[in-house]
């Protein structure tokens, strides 16, 4: 892939590098904070290297897929952005509290999400190895791998101190030092001893084990960055480089042990026990809701608000019951995508769905959702329904997760308790498999319209002088089209179709000659020299591309049945536009005549439609 070319196109559509406030990336998305979101162009999603464009949480999100880091590096290089730079807030920025929360959480956790997922998977594999008798917990092999898997979680305050410092606009190394103080061996020893009260300058201190903690260091980092900015304004340039860190360490570290830490720990415990109380009320209901709506939350970026709850549960309780509920939601979309793969004969959709299934099994569902299930609607709905049913079973089984990671096939190993397999694990397996199989079966049977299932097999063969019907619908003579230009034959001879579906498909072998920027019309050139214009609807240019999605670009080779354009038929009609679609032979003057092949009032896509007389 041409990452530099894709990076330039991304910069162009986000309003240029001058419009970028900050840029981070997660497992599949570039997350832009822009000065003016109105300058961003959602038409970027037509780039073949982009899966989808989403505006959510105050961010302009570009869904790339598995190679997001390479694209991120290319964009940073093209825009002159330092990949290690601290994100800055735009002046005067007004976000609602939810957007602020999502932005803060995603900026703090996304930089190490991949490492965190890998650590969780390694922990799960170790648990599986112990249960199967392949490893002994007293062996050096186990201890070394366990240290590798546990180090990130044990030293969470250091890692979170660094990323939180960057997000809050302070020195990340200073906030990382504060995180180091929370996990220092002296503090850990003081916590373990705790035989008598300790005092700091006469003030009682309650030592707490901050290893693996999440919330205390985030609040401490915010306090440090707030104090750092004010110290930098007071101290002269010659002094602030060492006096500012001195003041921050001398003030914030004791403040954390005296006030911030205990308060944040109490908040952590309340959050964990509050979630547990809700979950205990009706675990099956929690599973149904989370299994059904999780992928909807992912689409809008709202899932980041739940990530701290999962990590906090692991820190406070030693296990998490929220992540297991999400596994059926993920596998529901994987199953729906597999159903599309099995039912469609469209070569392009089959390749896309096949690769999306593989990515989804490993926890990356954006290619499946944005590329396969959501555009076809019913598969996405079936995936959510199956996810809710599977989630209910997992919730009823009260399955637990013992290490953090992306919801994937590896999550089942992460659910193994220290004692080995039990009913909670079997419940998770049953719920997950049922979700995948149910979504696959529903999608295979009912998920795709017949035109999509058999797209690559048109009902007729396009000859040199033939034009197949590019869509299914009711046929109109050209003089019946409610537009004087088309009805008068000024643009060429042909006929029109009032579509019954949402697709425009290739009527012959040839290539795409032109594609209107608003994607409502396309020009085609057959291998035999026939020039055809397909204009979806009357005056639909005024929609400025809304409700239209192009699947080809000028110069692309096409064959009968290839999907060219998708449109939202109901939305266009609701907007008050006539959907009569003229299919015109633009170079009619080169032929003796253009006639309809069949006279029936309705046609299916791929049936003989027009022919030219030489």
In a domain, 399, yes or no: yes
Average pLDDT of the residues in 121-150: 85
Q: Are residues 426 and 519 in the same domain?
A: no
Per-residue pLDDT band at 323 (split at 50, 70, 90): confident
Average pLDDT of the residues in 52-80: 79
Q: Are residues 288 and 402 in the same domain?
A: yes
Q: Are residues 129 and 271 in the same domain?
A: yes
Whether residue 581 has pLDDT greater than 90? yes
Q: Which residues contact 6 (CB under 8 A, 6 or more apart)?
A: 47, 49, 50, 71, 74
Which pLDDT value is given to residue 458? 42
The region of weakest confidence among 41-45, 177-181, 210-214, 405-409 is 41-45
In a domain, 42, yes or no: yes
Closest C-alpha to 439, from 533, 355, 360, 346: 360
The region of weakest confidence among 15-19, 195-199, 492-496, 559-563 is 195-199
Domain containing residue 508: CATH number: 2.70.70.10
The per-residue pLDDT for range 428-480, each reduced to its tens digit, is: 899 999 999 999 999 998 877 654 554 444 444 445 678 999 998 889 888 88
Q: Are residues 46 and 186 in the same domain?
A: no
Q: Are residues 28 and 171 in the same domain?
A: no
Q: Are residues 247 and 376 in the same domain?
A: no
Cα–Cα distance for residue pair 375/445, rounded to 1 Å: 17
Q: Are residues 144 and 264 in the same domain?
A: yes
Contact 317, 279 (CB under 8 A): no
Cα–Cα distance for residue pair 529/512, rounded to 1 Å: 12
In a domain, 297, yes or no: yes
List 26, 76, 225, 384, catalytic entry: 26
| Per-position DSSP letters for 524-561, written without gaps between them | EEETTS-EEEEE-SSSGGGGTTTTEEE---TT-EE-TT
Under DSSP, is residue 290 helix (H, G, I), strand (E, B) or coil?
helix
Number of H helices, E strands in the chain: 23, 20
Which pLDDT value is given to residue 96? 60
Q: Are residues 144 and 33 in the same domain?
A: no
In a domain, 458, yes or no: no
Number of domains forming the structure of the chain: 4
Q: Are residues 212 and 160 in the same domain?
A: yes
Which pLDDT value is given to residue 519? 92
Q: Which residues contact 204 (CB under 8 A, 6 or more apart)?
A: 197, 198
Which pLDDT value is given to residue 479? 86
In a domain, 461, yes or no: no
Which pLDDT value is given to residue 308? 77
In a domain, 93, yes or no: no
Quote the mean pLDDT of the chain: 83
Q: Are residues 231 and 378 in the same domain?
A: no
In a domain, 555, yes or no: yes
Final residue of a structural domain among 257, 277, 297: 277
Contact 313, 271 (CB under 8 A): no
The region of weakest confidence among 60-64, 152-156, 358-362, 455-459 is 455-459
Q: Are residues 312 and 270 in the same domain?
A: no
Final residue of a structural domain among 28, 52, 85: 85
Neighbours of 554 (CB within 10 A): 12
Q: Are residues 225 and 348 in the same domain?
A: no
Active site residue 26: yes
Average pLDDT of the residues in 20-38: 80
Higher pLDDT, 456 or 105: 105
- E-assigned strand segments in 357-485: 466-468, 473-477
Average pLDDT of the residues in 142-162: 88
Final residue of a structural domain among 250, 277, 304: 277
Domain span at residue 164 reads 108-277
Which pLDDT value is given to residue 344? 84
Cα–Cα distance for residue pair 124/234, rounded to 1 Å: 50
The per-residue pLDDT for range 287-314, each reduced to its tens digit, is: 898 889 888 877 766 666 677 788 778 7
Contact 394, 328 (CB under 8 A): yes
The per-residue pLDDT for range 216-257, each reduced to its tens digit, is: 889 999 999 999 988 988 888 778 888 888 999 999 999 988
Which pLDDT value is given to residue 457? 40
Q: For residue 596, what are the β-bridge partners?
A: 610
Which pLDDT value is given to residue 259? 86
Cα–Cα distance for residue pair 299/370, rounded to 1 Å: 9
Under DSSP, is residue 169 helix (H, G, I), strand (E, B) or coil?
coil
Cα–Cα distance for residue pair 473/451, rounded to 1 Å: 12
In a domain, 316, yes or no: yes
Average pLDDT of the residues in 108-129: 80
Which pLDDT value is given to residue 535? 94
Average pLDDT of the residues in 484-511: 89
Whether residue 101 has pLDDT greater than 50? yes
Whether residue 583 has pLDDT greater than 90? yes
Domain containing residue 75: CATH number: 3.30.1360.60
The residue to which tokens 């330039």 are assigned: 8
């Amino acid at each position: 892939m041409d990452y530099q070319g894709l990076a330039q196109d991304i910069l162009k559509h986000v309003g240029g590098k001058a419009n970028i406030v900050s840029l981070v990336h997660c497992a599949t998305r570039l997350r832009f904070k822009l000065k003016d979101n109105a300058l961003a162009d959602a038409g970027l999603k037509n780039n073949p290297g982009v899966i989808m464009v989403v505006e959510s949480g105050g961010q302009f999100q570009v869904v790339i897929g598995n190679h997001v880091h390479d694209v991120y590096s290319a964009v940073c290089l093209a825009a002159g952005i330092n990949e290690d730079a601290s994100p800055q807030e735009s002046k005067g920025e007004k976000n609602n509290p939810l957007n602020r929360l999502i932005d803060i959480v995603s900026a703090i956790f996304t930089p190490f999400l991949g490492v965190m997922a890998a650590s969780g998977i390694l922990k799960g594999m170790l648990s599986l190895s112990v249960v199967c008798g392949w490893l002994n917990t007293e062996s050096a092999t186990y201890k070394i791998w366990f240290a590798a898997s546990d180090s990130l979680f044990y030293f969470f305050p250091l890692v979170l101190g660094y990323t939180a410092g960057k997000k809050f606009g302070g020195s990340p190394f200073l906030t990382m030092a504060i995180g180091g103080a929370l996990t220092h061996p002296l503090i850990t020893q003081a916590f373990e001893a705790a035989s008598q009260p300790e005092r700091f300058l006469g003030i009682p201190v309650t030592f707490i084990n901050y290893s693996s903690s999440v919330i205390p260091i985030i609040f401490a980092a915010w306090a440090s960055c707030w104090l750092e900015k004010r110290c930098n304004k007071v101290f002269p340039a010659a002094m602030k480089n060492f006096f500012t860190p001195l003041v921050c360490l001398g003030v914030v570290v004791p403040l954390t042990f005296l006030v911030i830490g205990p308060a944040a720990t109490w908040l952590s415990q309340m959050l964990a026990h509050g979630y547990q109380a809700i979950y205990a009320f009706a675990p099956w209901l929690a599973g149904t809701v989370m299994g059904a709506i999780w992928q909807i939350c992912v689409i809008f970026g709202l899932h980041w608000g739940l990530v701290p709850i999962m990590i906090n549960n692991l820190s406070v309780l030693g296990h998490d019951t929220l992540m297991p509920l999400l596994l059926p939601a993920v596998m529901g979309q994987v199953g729906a995508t597999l159903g599309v793969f099995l039912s469609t004969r469209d070569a392009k959709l089959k390749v896309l769905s096949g690769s999306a299934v593989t990515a989804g099994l490993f926890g990356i569902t954006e290619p499946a959702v944005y590329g396969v299930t959501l555009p076809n609607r019913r598969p996405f709905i079936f995936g959510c329904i199956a996810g809710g049913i599977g989630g209910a079973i997992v919730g009823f089984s009260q399955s637990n997760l013992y290490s953090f990671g992306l919801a994937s096939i590896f999550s089942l190993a992460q659910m193994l308790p220290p004692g080995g397999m039990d009913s909670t694990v079997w419940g998770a397996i049953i719920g997950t498999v049922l979700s995948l199989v149910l979504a696959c079966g529903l999608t295979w049977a009912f998920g795709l319209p017949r035109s999509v299932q058999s797209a690559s097999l048109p009902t007729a063969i396009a000859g040199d002088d033939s034009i197949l019907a590019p869509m299914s619908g009711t046929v109109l003579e050209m003089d019946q089209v409610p537009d004087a230009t088309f009805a008068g034959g000024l643009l060429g001879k042909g006929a029109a179709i009032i579509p019954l579906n949402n697709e425009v498909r290739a009527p012959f072998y040839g290539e795409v000659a032109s594609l209107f920027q608003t994607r409502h019309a396309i020009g085609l050139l057959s291998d035999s020299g026939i020039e055809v214009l397909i204009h979806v609807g009357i005056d639909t240019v005024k929609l400025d591309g809304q409700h239209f999605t192009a699947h080809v670009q000028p110069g692309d080779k096409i064959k009968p049945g290839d999907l060219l354009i998708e449109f939202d038929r109901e939305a266009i009609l609701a907007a008050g536009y006539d959907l009569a679609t003229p299919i015109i032979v633009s170079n009619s003057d080169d032929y003796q005549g253009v006639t309809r092949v069949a006279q029936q009032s309705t046609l299916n896509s791929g049936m003989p439609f027009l022919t030219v007389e030489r």
